């Protein structure tokens, strides 16, 4: 089943949920019968022990319960809150009993601690505890065997919660339908079985259990450096471990680390516990610092450095960004960005065009920009821009269009990001004026023009063969191809 997720602007998993496939289990008692892809005797206990051919509703066999074998068709379900279960079975008797008060406990006590069927969920200790805590008691004619369909509900620690109202066998010699409905109010185990507390034989056939599983959800909240706010979270299922900033949470040995590509973070301390692989490039920063202690408007890039990355973006945009960081142009730009204090960069997905790179110095600049280009900046909020304009820095907005990042092949989207970062680098270098774009293109494409050639021309036309753009495109193609080969291996 598909799993749906909601993430915040930093890529932190906030909610994960999915529907579950409903399950139906049938006990027909027929030889070699299967249900849900498994033999019936591995789904229900007491199938083979009660198989009998003297009375049957359908086919050849039914389940015969006697004083020696008083329990049959036993199945337990590990339910969660909101799960609904419907059970139906057909029962029949032929002769009246002489004794309707035969206890089931002497039969249950010698049973092994773990029964072979129902994935080990059938627990005899729980079964007897439920019968002792809530004995079956109802008024019936002395001529009708005390035999019934029963459900018992236990919490996840095995404490008896309640009994499902018993469904007794009624008078009459014909096969009679017996059914009950159940809804779980907490997580626990529902035991389902048929029983006979009389000395007269009773037959059961064609049990069907329909398990309507509730929507399962997970909700996560975090301290600034990634430790889970356990007290207010909804934990358990589906238990998606890719949580803080989209990185895997390592729960083995109760470590609770956040695993980034190059090193692991101890989210309780808010520090990495291994040295920064790029420590020599950032002498001003602690070699163990997480995201340079900027955790509200930045993300940690693979355990290497902080990245200003406000604004929700698709998973493909993240992939494009990481591919670009591996190119020589992307590394040069990022190094230049880190070495200066005048500009921040806000990456986003644009609604129109292919790519955009523009700079602003205050929030009013952005308001005007968005008013005149609402479709381009449709996903960028004033809040994100305000946070990005930190410490009186100017802001460069770098965008790549949805129509490119949503493609299966990311080459074209990465070409565009590479191109826009070249413009951003020029802005950091102090290039301004009406001719800036044309001058940037002259350096990037070896052709001074306000418009860009299409990607096919850059890769195939000989006049671009020695350009920076052609070189970058080749690097991008090689990186993407190498990543595909790694996945194949």
Task: In whole angstroms, give the CA distance from residue 371 to residue 359.
Answer: 16
DSSP-derived 3-state class of residue 286: coil
Average pLDDT over residues 10-28: 85
Residue 279 lies in a domain: yes
Return the HEC string of 436-448.
HHHHHHHHHHCCC
The whole model's pTM is what? 0.54
**pLDDT of 267:** 87
Average pLDDT over residues 125-137: 92
Average pLDDT over residues 461-476: 95
Instruction: For residue 251, give Cα distances in angstroms to 218, 269, 420.
Output: 16, 16, 40
Same domain flag for 58 and 192: yes
Same domain flag for 253 and 204: no
pLDDT in tens, 202-243: 999 999 999 998 877 788 888 888 888 888 887 666 678 888
**pLDDT of 235:** 67
Domain final position from 160, 177, 212: 212
Same domain flag for 51 and 71: yes
Same domain flag for 274 and 390: no
Same domain flag for 369 and 270: no
Residue 319 lies in a domain: yes
Half-sphere exposure in the Cβ direction for 404 (13 Å, CA): 26
Q: Does the structure show a pLDDT above 90 at 286?
A: no
Average pLDDT over residues 143-154: 96
Phi-psi region of 29 (alpha: psi -120 to 50; beta: other; left: phi over 0): left
Residue 305 lies in a domain: no
Phi–psi pair at 52, nearest 5 degrees:
-150, 145
**pLDDT of 307:** 66
Same domain flag for 373 and 246: no
Average pLDDT over residues 126-149: 91
Confidence grade of residue 311 (pLDDT, cut at 50, 70, 90): very low
pLDDT in tens, 447-460: 998 889 999 999 99
Same domain flag for 75 and 145: yes
Least reliable range by pLDDT among 303-307, 318-322, 391-395:
303-307
**pLDDT of 140:** 79
**pLDDT of 400:** 92
**pLDDT of 232:** 81
Average pLDDT over residues 256-266: 87
């Amino acid at each position: 089943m598909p799993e749906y997720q909601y993430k915040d602007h930093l890529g932190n998993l906030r909610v994960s949920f999915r529907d579950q496939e409903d399950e139906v289990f049938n006990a027909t008692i027929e030889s070699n019968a299967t249900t849900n892809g498994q033999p019936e005797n591995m789904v229900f206990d007491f199938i083979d022990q009660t198989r009998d051919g003297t009375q049957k509703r359908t086919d050849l066999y039914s389940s015969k319960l006697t004083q020696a074998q008083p329990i049959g068709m036993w199945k337990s379900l590990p339910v969660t809150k909101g799960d609904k279960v419907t059970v139906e079975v057909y029962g029949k008797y032929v002769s009246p009993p002489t004794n309707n008060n035969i206890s089931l406990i002497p039969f249950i006590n010698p049973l092994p601690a773990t029964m072979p069927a129902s994935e080990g969920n059938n627990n005899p200790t729980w079964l007897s505890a439920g019968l002792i805590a809530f004995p079956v008691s109802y008024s019936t004619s002395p001529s009708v065997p005390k035999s019934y369909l029963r459900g018992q509900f236990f919490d996840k620690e095995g404490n008896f919660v309640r009994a499902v109202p018993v469904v007794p066998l009624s008078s009459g010699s014909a096969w009679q339908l017996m059914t009950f409905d159940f809804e779980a109010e907490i997580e626990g185990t529902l035991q389902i079985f048929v029983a006979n507390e009389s000395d007269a034989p009773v037959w059961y056939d064609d049990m069907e259990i329909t398990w309507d599983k509730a929507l399962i959800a997970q909700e996560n909240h975090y301290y600034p450096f990634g430790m889970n706010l356990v007290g207010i979270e909804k934990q358990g299922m589906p238990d998606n471990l890719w949580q803080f900033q989209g990185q895997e949470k390592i729960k083995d040995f109760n470590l609770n680390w956040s695993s980034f590509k190059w090193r692991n973070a101890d989210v309780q301390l808010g520090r990495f516990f291994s040295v920064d692989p790029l420590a020599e490039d950032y002498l001003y920063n602690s070699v163990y610092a997480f995201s340079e202690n900027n955790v509200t408007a930045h993300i940690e890039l693979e355990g290497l450095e902080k990245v200003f990355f406000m604004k929700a973006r698709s998973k493909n945009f993240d992939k494009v960004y990481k591919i670009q960081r591996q190119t020589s142009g992307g590394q040069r730009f990022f190094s230049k960005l880190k070495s200066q204090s005048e500009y921040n960069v806000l990456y986003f997905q644009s609604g129109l065009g292919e790519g955009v790179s523009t700079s602003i110095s205050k929030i009013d600049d952005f308001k005007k920009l968005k008013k005149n280009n609402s479709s381009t900046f449709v996903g960028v909020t004033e809040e994100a821009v305000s946070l990005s304009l930190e410490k009186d820095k100017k802001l460069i907005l770098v965008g790549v269009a949805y129509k490119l990042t949503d493609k299966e092949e990311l080459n074209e989207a990465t070409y565009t990001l590479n191109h826009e970062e070249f413009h951003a680098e020029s802005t950091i270098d102090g290039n301004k004026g009406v001719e800036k774009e044309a001058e940037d293109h002259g350096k990037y494409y070896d052709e001074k023009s306000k418009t860009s050639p299409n990607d096919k021309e850059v890769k195939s036309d000989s006049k671009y063969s020695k350009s920076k753009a052609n070189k970058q495109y080749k690097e991008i193609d090689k990186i993407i191809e190498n990543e595909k080969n790694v996945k194949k291996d």
